[in-house]
Structures are given as C-alpha cells and as structure tokens.
Structure 1
Amino acid sequence: MRLIKLDAIDSTNDFLKSLSSHDEPENFTVVTAENQTKGKGQMGEKWSSEAGKNLIMSVLVKDFLFDNEKVFDLSIVVSLAVTEVLKSLNIPDICIKWPNDILSYNKKLAGILIENTIKSDGRILSVIGIGMNVNQTDYSELPNASSLAVISGKTFNKETLAVLIVEKLQEKIKLWETSAESFRNDYFNSLFKKGVPMPFRNQNDENFMGIIQGVSRIGKLQVLLEDDSVAEFEIKEVKMLY
C-alpha cells in the first residue's frame, strides 16, 4: 500500500478524491493526517478530533464495486475490518451501530464515511474515510464518545493501526466473493441493540418503539414495529435513542 502522510488538511477524503481525479493512484492508497479542519461524517455532519491524538485516514478502493445497488457491501467489509482489528487489540465489547459507527461499551470509537465516484468508463472508485478515537482522553464535551486509550489505559501507534486496518480490509475484499453471506451474518450479529426493544425517533421528530430485525441488501435498517409490521429506514430517516 502507498501511504501519504500529511500534517494538516481540510479533509483526507477530499484530498484523496482530488488525487484520484487527476492521477491514477494505486489501489489501497492511504492518506493520513495529524489534523483535519473540515472532517465530515454521515450526511455532511462535521467530524472533529483533537490534533495529533487520533487516527484520521482515507483509503482508496478500486475494482470492488461494479453496481451502485451494492454499495452497502463495502460498508459491511470496512465495518468488519475495523471491528476485527480492534478485537485483536483486546478492545472489549465492540459492536457496530448501524450503518457503520464502531462502539465499545456503548461509546463511539470510530466513524466511517464512504464516498463513491463513477468514472467515465463506468468504474466505481471508493474513498473510505475512517476517523478513530485513539489517544485522546478528554471527552467532556462528547459524552457519547470514548477512545482506545480511555478504554484500555494504553496508548497506540496510529500508523500501525492504519496498516492493520488496510491489511484486514484487503483480506476481506479478497474473500468477499466466497464469503459474502458469512460476512453479512457477521455484520448483523455485531449490530448494536439488535433484537432489543428500544426507542427511535423518525424524521418528523416522532418517537416510537421498535426492534432491529436486520439490514437490507442495500443498507436499509429493518425495524419491527409495535403493530408487527417491519419498516425500512434510510440513513437520517431514523435515529436510535439510547
């Protein structure tokens, strides 16, 4: 893998997308930054991080997605790659909050943002942004967040983490064709609050009770409602209240 290390940048995803539009970087090119001034989360939300303390990285993936209807496959692969690396480091109680936030003890450790670009020849280039709370310890203003250092009491080498994640991602992508159903099951079994009655809020600010039943092939959250019907929700159409 090619590693590009930056001191500060507005967004590693934007940097890698720009690089891909002017050049032809090799597959699994990685960009990391010590500080990111315009980090993005899902649906344009801001993602911020204490400079120098956390893992801020973007990875280019080519020749995996060939159909826009299957973009959630990559989300599954990336989420599992990150969770397996964290488990290998003995970070406890790891789960995936739909669609791809990584939690430990119900606290957010990492967020994933995948942005896809369709090239003129029909190829899909994916830029995977991963923000992981690593060595930061002050979360007084972020009560739902934590870090590897807080949970484990140890500090971690951010570059080593990046390499481990990319190696696991490469492994998962290589195995996808023969292991897709197994990976989908692993993803579902790792879901936060699956099978548990819990409150939700819809986009009309209405609260309701439901039970997570699964995730559709295109990434919609499937929730069993009190009338025994199953509703499907896109990102931002529903919020878990916990």
Structure 2
Amino acid sequence: MSIIKLNATDSTNSYLRTLSARENVEDYTTVVAKKQTQGRGQMGTVWDAETSKNLTFSVYKDVSGFQLDSPFYISMVAALSVLKTLQFFSISRLRVKWPNDILSADKKICGILIENVIKQNSINASIIGIGLNVNQTEFKNLPKASSLSILSGKVYNLDELVMVILNNLKGYFLLLKDGKYDLIKAEYETHLFRKNKPSTFKDVEGLMFSGFIKGISDSGKLLVLLEDNIIKSFDLKEITLLY
C-alpha cells in the first residue's frame, strides 16, 4: 500500500485518476493533501477545508475481481468505514445522511465522493475521495458543519486517522468481495439519518413534500413512505432531504 503526501493539489481524486490513467496503481494507493485548491463534493459542490487541519485524501481501490450487485455498495462501504473509525475515536450520535455524508449531532463532519473507473462496460476500480473535518474549529457561513475537535475538544493525529480508515476500508471491502450484501446494507440502514422519522424533502422542481425514510434500494435509491401510504424510490438528483 502506497501513501502519497502532497502539500497541495487541485483535487486528490483528480490526481489519483490522472495517475491511474498513466500507470498501474497499487491497490489502496492513497493520496493525502494538506490543501486542496479545487476540492469537490457531490453534484459539483465545493469542499472547503483549512490547510493541514483536516483530512482530504483519496483511495484507489481495484474492484475488477468483484461481482457487484450495484455500484452503490462501494458508497456504503466507504461510509461505514469512516463511521466505524469515528466510533473507535469515541465520536457519538453518528449518522449517515444519504447517500454518504457522515453527521454527528445532526451536523456534517465528513463528505465522500466516489468516482468509478469503467473498463469494458464494467467497474474496474473506484477512487474514493474523503473529506473529514478534524481539527478545524471555525466554519464561517456553514452552520451545519462541525469537526472532531469541536465535538470532543481534542486534537487528532491526521496520519493515525488515515490508517484506521484504510484498515476499516479493507475490512468492509473483504465483506463486499465475499458477497455479504445484506449485511452491509443492513448496517448502513441502521445508521441512516432520519430513518422512520417525519422528514421534509424538496424535488427537482423545488416543491416540498413530507415523508418517512424507510431505507434504500439495492441500487442505492432512497425509499420514502409518502402520505398516500406508497413507498417511492428517489435517485440522488431527484430529491433533497431538508433538515
């Protein structure tokens, strides 16, 4: 396993994607940057983090030997690996906000961006980008953001956090390779934010509606129980969960 440390890069995901296109990359090769100049989140959002205070890194995972039911299982594995790490460091009130943001006390502490490498119409590898708020204590104009230091009052070793996350990733990917889909999905749903609670959503047209999150489909769509007692599935681009 190779760990590449950079002082700065535009995006660790982009760096790793370029590297993998140019040469054979070892499984679990990890790129860690003290600063990202163009860090990205889901659907083109920007991930902003103070230099050297947080974790911004990407992991190359070869999945060419996997029989994947759905690419979303990679997303579940990534989210659970971070969540298990934070449990190890005694961070409480953890939830996964669909599809793969990690919350503590209803505030966002981690975002995950997964970009799959497709070869011959199947997923050959995944580049898993993780942005974890660690030692930053101020988030201007981001009232829904928090960090490990804010939550615990402690200062964390970033290298130690990376290693624990990588070890947990290896464990969950072993489960995935062994086809333990039900186990992974059940654990993910156990931690799903606002599951079985009345919630407000917004659709692509900006219309708001109420419902209860019941879980996710095998393809990763959010299952919502609507007022007419019908469970409807929504894709990431079709719905926004409002706090």
TM superposition outliers: structure 1 runs of 4+ over 2 Å: 63-69, 119-123
TM-score scaled by length of structure 1: 0.96
TM-superposed CA distance for 1:229, in Å, is 1.1
Closer, same or farther: CA 240–121 of 1 in aligned 2, 3 Å: closer
Aligned to 2:212: 211
Aligned to 2:187: 186
Is the CA contact (8 Å cut-off) linking 1:65 and 1:71 kept in structure 2? no
Task: Find the aligned partners of 1:209 and 1:180 in 2 and give their Cα distance.
Answer: 30
Q: Are 2:155 and 1:155 equivalent residues in the alignment?
A: yes
Aligned to 2:226: 225
Aligned to 2:13: 13
Task: Find the aligned partners of 2:175 and 2:144 in 1 and give their Cα distance.
Answer: 34
Aligned to 2:81: 81
- Residue by residue over 1:179-238, the C-alpha shift from the partner in whole angstroms, topping out at 9 and shown as x without a partner, is 321111010010000000111111110010000011011110010100111111111311
| Partner SS for 1:33 | strand
Task: Find the aligned partners of 2:125 and 2:32 in 1 and give their Cα distance.
Answer: 18
- Residue by residue over 1:124-155, the C-alpha shift from the partner in whole angstroms, topping out at 9 and shown as x without a partner, is 11100000000000023210000000000001
Aligned to 1:234: 235
Aligned to 1:51: 51
TM-score scaled by length of structure 2: 0.96
Task: Find the aligned partners of 2:72 and 2:42 in 1 and give their Cα distance.
Answer: 14
TM-superposed CA distance for 1:34, in Å, is 0.4
| Partner SS for 1:198 | strand
Q: Which region of structure 1 is more displaced relative to structure 2, 127-136 or 116-125?
A: 116-125
Q: Which region of structure 1 is more displaced relative to structure 2, 129-138 or 175-184?
A: 175-184
Unpaired runs of 5+ in structure 2?
A: none
Aligned to 1:197: 198
Is the CA contact (8 Å cut-off) linking 1:194 and 1:211 kept in structure 2? yes
| Partner SS for 2:128 | strand
Task: Find the aligned partners of 1:190 and 1:64 in 2 and give their Cα distance.
Answer: 28
TM-superposed CA distance for 1:123, in Å, is 5.2
TM-superposed CA distance for 1:50, in Å, is 1.0
> What aligned pairs does 1:93-172 form with structure 2 within 5 A after superposition?
93-120=93-120, 122=122, 124-172=124-172
Count of residues in Structure 1 that have an aligned counterpart in Structure 2: 242
Task: Find the aligned partners of 1:21 and 1:67 in 2 and give their Cα distance.
Answer: 23
TM-superposed CA distance for 1:45, in Å, is 1.3
Task: Find the aligned partners of 1:168 and 1:64 in 2 and give their Cα distance.
Answer: 20
Task: Find the aligned partners of 1:69 and 1:115 in 2 and give their Cα distance.
Answer: 17
For the aligned residues, what is the CA RMSD? 1.5
- Residue by residue over 1:77-124, the C-alpha shift from the partner in whole angstroms, topping out at 9 and shown as x without a partner, is 111111000001000101100000000000000000000011359551
> What aligned pairs does 1:28-67 form with structure 2 within 5 A after superposition?
28-63=28-63, 66=66
Identity %: 43
- Residue by residue over 1:145-179, the C-alpha shift from the partner in whole angstroms, topping out at 9 and shown as x without a partner, is 00000000001111111111011100111122253
Task: Find the aligned partners of 1:82 and 1:68 in 2 and give their Cα distance.
Answer: 21
| Partner SS for 2:170 | helix
Task: Find the aligned partners of 2:64 and 2:152 in 1 and give their Cα distance.
Answer: 34
Task: Find the aligned partners of 2:115 and 2:26 in 1 and give their Cα distance.
Answer: 17
Task: Find the aligned partners of 1:5 and 1:63 in 2 and give their Cα distance.
Answer: 24
Task: Find the aligned partners of 2:72 and 2:111 in 1 and give their Cα distance.
Answer: 15
TM-superposed CA distance for 1:68, in Å, is 7.3
Is the CA contact (8 Å cut-off) linking 2:63 and 2:126 kept in structure 1? no
Unpaired runs of 5+ in structure 1?
A: none
Is the CA contact (8 Å cut-off) linking 1:65 and 1:74 kept in structure 2? no
